[in-house]
Chain A
Amino acid sequence: MDQSIVFIDLGVGGMTCDGCVVHVTKALEAVPGVANATVDLASRSAVVTANPGVATEALAAAVHATGQYNAFERRRRPASNA
């Protein structure tokens, strides 16, 4: 099993309610290689737990594909530093 996991911090735009949080979370978790996503409405951000091969563009594209939201990568942290 691949032990290599990263946390990817995202900024997320366009969310106005808890329903938005659900939509963005589902979109991120549908990206292959993503283990889970924690999306926060108040701070307009998300933390994605994923394998390191997951590209920023794939996460952004998944969120854009919802048609309402935007996501961009802030930084990646190795899971050991969490």
Chain B
Amino acid sequence: MPDAFDLLILGSGSTAFAAAIGASELGARVAMVERRTLGGTCVNRGCLPSKNLIEAARLVRDAAHPRYDGLVPAQLVVDFPALIGQKDQVVRDYRAKKYNAVADGMSDLQILDGSAAFDSPTSVSLDGRTIAADRFLVATGSRPIVPKIPGLDSVPYLTSDLLDADEAGRLTDLPESLIVLGGGYIAVELAQMFSRLGSRVTIVARSGLLRGYEPELGATLSEVFAAEGIEVLANTRTDGVSGNSQGVAVTVETPTAGRILRAQRLLAATGRRPNTDDLGLDQIGVELDADGYVVVDAELRTKVAHVWAAGDVIGGQHGSQMATPVGARQGRIVAENAFKGARRRVDHEVIPRAIFTDPPIGVVGLTEAEVKAKHFPAVSATTPLKYVPRAGAIHRPEGFVKMIASTIDERILGVHMIGESAAEVIHEAAMAMHFKATIDDFIDLIHVYPTMSEALKIGAQAFRKDVTKLSCCAE
């Protein structure tokens, strides 16, 4: 029998790769098992392909709505299959460079294809073979939830897997019309993308858009969507679906009336769930919570001492978020804890997050509701971006920045922005919060004029004065 691996990783996404690289650097012999496509959700059917297509959709929108007097609107012709083709190429190239090539360059990494499940505390069964290891990392990620809606099991529907380049669930034809179930970040990104590429889109959301985020973000986005012709049915219950490959009908109950919505395609984007169902985790004593997330301590160790878990499979424990870079950081920590005895604990106090709608959203830290729930003495200031010089200069005045500060030491506790470049600007706030910056730190820092990052300086000044009366350069 061959020697046991030092580390066997279930999954091959960003979490798995970070752990594999880290463990390998520390001297470990590593195996990675993947049942779908190498690279996991982000590169294959998540962040990367969606951002590619969202930018294309923005070009279409901006051409038709150039914002500037003197620029004549133009209609870009959307060749959807060709657009999908270039997206697939981007995915394959990126996967080859950032995953396959990296794996090939690591002498002590083996990648094993197939479905693995624990058959003992020190081995997994992989399509009939037994693979032994001294330590394990569960990094199997998450997948779209299938919502419990009468009729859904017999109706064809899309999920975010439509973005995949190589799997059966991929989409190659632009739907003439689309009903999106869900109001979360995936739902809003894809809804706007399809709308801008030419689909007639209706969003059906149980509450409003972006529940759990600062409420004004979803409210602003709802206004933007309405202006772009995306119908948003908020506080709406989905009672049933019917249909076939030609079209679907969705029965909904809005706050005022029952309706039957019809569209060519249906997209279920109601959330994600962990891929922990059939890994044999319960048989070896790894604890799962009621939603299937792997229970871990702050060092990412499960109830079984030689088994760690990280990435989407741990859900929101210890302040974690289901996001690619969060998992990657955790993967590195697992490597150091498993092979260096580092006993590093996760630090999730500052996790910037972006939603790639247009205008984009960037958030970091606590929401006002979270601050209240923790009984922190705090104050907030919301500044419309129309007071940011650059926003006016380039005719992108929509949106706002909301900053939340402690009233004890004036530390910034949260920043929530929707508007031009918010996904980039949020990193200044994140780095500042990492160093425990106060209101005055944002005010005192000289910002480049005119940039959208000035929103943070002006947003901080809003705690002190009337920012409608600032001179040039926000002083």
Contact = CB atoms under 8 A, between A and B. Distances in A.
A44 B340 CA distance: 15
B25, B27, B134, B339: residue with the most chain A Cβ atoms closer than 10 Å: B27
Nearest to B28: A11
Contact of A70 (B29, B108, B339): B339
Interface in A35-82: 44-45, 57, 60, 64, 70-72, 74
B339 A13 contact: yes
A11 B339 contact: yes
B24 interface: yes
Contacts of B341: 57, 60, 72
B122 to A, nearest CB: 12
A74 B4 CA distance: 9
A40 to B, nearest CB: 11
Contacts of B339: 11, 13, 70, 72
B6 interface: yes
A15 to B, nearest CB: 8
Interface of A is mostly: strand
Interface in A12-45: 12-14, 44-45
Nearest to B107: A44
A72 B340 contact: yes
Given A44-B108, A60-B341, A64-B340, A74 B26 contact: no
Contacts of B26: 11, 13-14, 70, 72
Contact of B28 (A57, A64, A72): A72
Nearest to A70: B26
A11 B27 contact: yes
Contacts of A44: 27, 108
A41 B390 CA distance: 57
B340 A74 contact: no
Contact of B340 (A10, A45, A70): A70
22 contacts: A10-B27, A11-B6, A11-B26, A11-B27, A11-B29, A13-B25, A13-B26, A13-B27, A13-B28, A13-B339, A14-B26, A44-B108, A45-B27, A70-B26, A70-B27, A70-B339, A72-B26, A72-B28, A72-B340, A72-B341, A74-B6, A74-B134
